[in-house]
Every structure is written in structure tokens, then in C-alpha cells.
């Protein structure tokens, strides 16, 4: 096993520089009207989860449109069917990339579904709109959209792994993006795997894995524990979940007042769309500044949010002057809604690698460790990497962002090793 891990690590390191160069590209143009049309679902579409609604070519960075078999792979923008938390069908978009490199492991080519980290809540933030350039500026809003999934994507593609990246429910497509909604995040990941196998014409038993960090870590963790009940047809082999927000009741207080404190608004907006009782409480408890903030945040990308609401505290949004975490804890209905998002109640059906940072200034380490304990208690095969980076300018999110990079190669090695078994 150690030899296999070293082999994958050498291959992964070889592409790290290429991935970094890819991440440096930028576009100063907003997504075209033609691209926007792709994101409007037809009036009627197949309701079976994982069905392909539509697809189209999607050039990657530095690729020339129309030329086949370019490095590192051939991408398609895809709209597929998933499920809202009430079981009704949802149209979700994403990207599926077939690698140019061959798969050298056992069996058919595997698929890894990537769950993006926090990119925002506006439709313009959807990663599938940013595959040819990882940065787009829309001066009409104004808004800055960023896609930072390129490093992990390229590490997997260079090793012959098919990659699917979901935009999540409501990102790009009609409706609000249901940020950190446990069921809808997990559904979007699992159905992206189904869709990727279909669009590639891959065998139904092809190996599948999930990976993500921060918001994406929560989505990957949710997919891991929902797989056996929601998608028993998938041959899940592994999951990497870095800094997952497994317990929102613990995350809200930690993130308040940091550079990305506005992400609390993303969570409220998304949960309000599924829980009318929450909207009632929020409408009653927030002041004019809070109402304005929530409305603005619903259309922003994370860069916009940092500039608009960075380091603000949510007590400036409430009538009582209490932070939103206190309001959540004081209301039984809201506590239940937040409790519905708790990850760790179900057992993953394949090995999982978790990551948590002792000094992470966004995602509390203790709730990641609790997820580890909850899954171990159920008999799951789970291991955990603990990042011990000392505090660096707390609140600037450095202690949250750096572990994403330092764990990138170990996490990729873990996934590739499990997929190659």
C-alpha cells in the first residue's frame, strides 16, 4: 500500500505546477447569453435521478474549441436530474471531464465527483460557467466569480480519473442555491456521479468517489453517508471530506466576524427556501440592515461578499443586537431546522478520510472530530488528518484556506489508492 501511495503522489506532484498555472488564467467578461440559456431547464424533463437533461462541449483553460483529445481532457457542461429534499425532481448543472490520460488501475475508469468550496450564491458563481477561465468579472452587477477547483481536478485527470463537478442545486439554475443543505448537497453529488457514468457510457459498476473541502467537504460527507440509501446503485469506493461544516450550530458562531461572515447569509437564504418557519423567525428578528444584507448576499459571489460584508458581525443585522447564533439557539423551531443539517447520523458505505484544522478560523475542529467519532461508533472505516498550523491572522481565513492546499496531495493519494484496489 505504501508503494502505491508513493507512486500516486509522484504523478500528482508532477501536475501540481500545471494546475497552478491553470488557476492563474482569467476572463474579464461575464458569461454569454447563450451560456445563460443552457441553465434554464425545459418545462418537462426526465424525473429519474441522474438522468441527462442536456449537455454541450465546454472547453477547459487554454484549449482551442473544436479540437478533440486536448490535454488534460474533454469537458462537457451537463444538466442532470437530482432531487430536492422533498423528493421532487430538480434540474442541476455541472461539468464532466473525460481525461486524456489512460486509467492504469484495476477495472474500468473511475469517477470522482468534486464538490466545490464556497463560491457564493449568485447564479454567475456556478463553476460550470468558469471552466475555460477560472475568473470572471461582471461589471453590470458588479461581481467577481472564481472557480478554484482546477488544482484538484487536474491532479485527478493526469491520473486517468474521470471528474464530475457539480454546481449544486440552485446555482446557475432557477431558484436559490441551497447552501449547506445536507440532503440537497448530498443528492447533487450522488446524482452527478450517476450522470457522469451515463454521459461517458461507462459501466454501471465503475468505481466512484467523492471529494470536497469546506462547503464541498460537507457535500462530500453528506454523499458518503447517503449513498447506501439514496444511491445504492453506485459502486462507491472512497470519500475525502476536508473541513466539513458537519454541525452548523457550531459553525455559525465561529464564522461570525471573519472575512467571510457573509456566508452565514448564504446558509439562511438557502434554508429559508425549504423551511418557511425559518423565514418567519428571520423576518421577525432582523432589522432593515439585515434584510438588505440577506437580499444582496443571495446574488453575490464570495469575492463580492468579502468586500461587502467582510468582518461584519451578525448582531448588526438583528433587532435585538444579538448575533444570529444566539437567535438560532433560542428558538426551538430554528434549532430543529439547523439540526436537520447535522452530518454523522448515517454510516458511510466506503472508506472516508476527514481533515480538520486545530486553528481553523471558519470550521471548528471539534465538530469535525465529532463527525469522526460518530462515524467510527457506527462501524464506518474512517481516518482523519489533523492540521496543526498555528494561528495566522485569525479571521482572515488563512487557517482555513492553507490546509486545503497542504492536504491536497495526501487526499488525492487516498482517493487514487482506494479507487485502484
Burial-class residue 37 by CB neighbours within 10 Å (0-12, 13-18, 19+).
Answer: exposed
Closest CA to 415 of 96, 2, 5: 5
pTM, two decimals, is: 0.91
Q: Please tell me the distance from the alpha carbon of residue 78 to that of residue 74, in angstroms, as a whole number.
A: 13
pLDDT in tens, the chain (421 residues): 333 333 343 333 333 333 333 333 333 444 444 555 999 999 999 999 999 999 999 999 988 888 888 999 999 999 999 999 999 999 999 999 999 999 999 999 999 999 999 999 999 999 999 999 989 988 888 899 999 998 999 999 999 999 999 999 999 999 999 999 999 999 999 999 999 999 999 999 999 999 999 999 999 999 999 999 999 999 999 999 999 999 999 999 999 999 999 999 999 999 999 999 999 999 999 999 999 999 999 999 999 999 999 999 999 999 999 999 999 889 999 999 999 999 999 999 999 999 999 999 999 999 999 999 999 999 999 999 999 999 999 999 999 999 999 999 999 999 999 999 9
Q: Please tell me the distance from the alpha carbon of residue 198 to that of residue 215, in angstroms, as a whole number.
A: 26
Residues contacting residue 62 through CB under 8 Å, at least 6 positions apart: 22, 25
Q: Please tell me the distance from the alpha carbon of residue 139 to that of residue 348, in angstroms, as a whole number.
A: 44
Which domains, and CATH codes, for the chain? 51-249+346-420 (3.40.50.1820), 252-336 (1.10.260.130)
Cell of 1: 500500500
Q: What is the pLDDT of residue 36?
A: 57
Amino acid at each position: 500500500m505504501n508503494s502505491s501511495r508513493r507512486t500516486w503522489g509522484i504523478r500528482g506532484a508532477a501536475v501540481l505546477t500545471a494546475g497552478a498555472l491553470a488557476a492563474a488564467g482569467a476572463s474579464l467578461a461575464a458569461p454569454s447569453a447563450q451560456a445563460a440559456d443552457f441553465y434554464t431547464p425545459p418545462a418537462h424533463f426526465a424525473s429519474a435521478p441522474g438522468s441527462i437533461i442536456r449537455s454541450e462541449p465546454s472547453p477547459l483553460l487554454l484549449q482551442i474549441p473544436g479540437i478533440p483529445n486536448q490535454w488534460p481532457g474533454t469537458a462537457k457542461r451537463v444538466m442532470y436530474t437530482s432531487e430536492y429534499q422533498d423528493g421532487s425532481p430538480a434540474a442541476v448543472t455541472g461539468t464532466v471531464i473525460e481525461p486524456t490520460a489512460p486509467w492504469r488501475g484495476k477495472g474500468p475508469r473511475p469517477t470522482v465527483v468534486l464538490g466545490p468550496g464556497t463560491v457564493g450564491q449568485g447564479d454567475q458563481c456556478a463553476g460550470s460557467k468558469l471552466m475555460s477561465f477560472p475568473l470572471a468579472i461582471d461589471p453590470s452587477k458588479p461581481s467577481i466569480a472564481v472557480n478554484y477547483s482546477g488544482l484538484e481536478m487536474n491532479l485527478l485527470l493526469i491520473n486517468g480519473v474521470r471528474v464530475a463537478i457539480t454546481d449544486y442545486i440552485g446555482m446557475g439554475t432557477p431558484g436559490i442555491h441551497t447552501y449547506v443543505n445536507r440532503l440537497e448537497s448530498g443528492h447533487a453529488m450522488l446524482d452527478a456521479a450517476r450522470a457522469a457514468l451515463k454521459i461517458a457510457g461507462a459501466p454501471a459498476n465503475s468505481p466512484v468517489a467523492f471529494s470536497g473541502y469546506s462547503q464541498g467537504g460537507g457535500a462530500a460527507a453528506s454523499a458518503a453517508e447517503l449513498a447506501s440509501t439514496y444511491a445504492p446503485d453506485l459502486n462507491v469506493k472512497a470519500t475525502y471530506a476536508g473541513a466539513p461544516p458537519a454541525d452548523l450550530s457550531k459553525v455559525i458562531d465561529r464564522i461570525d466576524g471573519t472575512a467571510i461572515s457573509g456566508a452565514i447569509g448564504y446558509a439562511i437564504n438557502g434554508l429559508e427556501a425549504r423551511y418557511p418557519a425559518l423565514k418567519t423567525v428571520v423576518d421577525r428578528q432582523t432589522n432593515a440592515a439585515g434584510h438588505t444584507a440577506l437580499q444582496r448576499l443571495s446574488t453575490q459571489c464570495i469575492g463580492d461578499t468579502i468586500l461587502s460584508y467582510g468582518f461584519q458581525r451578525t448582531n448588526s443585522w438583528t433587532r435585538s443586537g444579538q448575533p444570529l447564533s444566539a437567535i438560532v439557539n433560542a428558538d426551538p423551531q430554528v434549532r430543529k431546522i439547523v439540526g436537520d443539517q447535522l452530518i454523522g447520523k448515517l454510516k458511510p458505505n466506503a472508506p472516508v478520510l476527514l481533515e480538520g484544522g486545530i486553528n481553523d478560523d471558519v470550521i471548528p475542529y471539534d465538530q469535525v472530530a465529532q463527525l469522526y467519532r460518530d462515524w467510527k461508533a457506527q462501524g464506518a472505516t474512517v481516518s482523519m488528518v489533523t492540521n496543526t498550523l498555528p494561528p495566522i491572522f485569525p479571521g482572515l481565513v488563512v487557517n482555513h484556506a492553507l490546509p486545503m492546499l497542504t492536504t491536497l496531495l495526501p487526499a488525492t493519494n487516498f482517493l487514487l489508492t482506494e479507487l485502484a484496489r
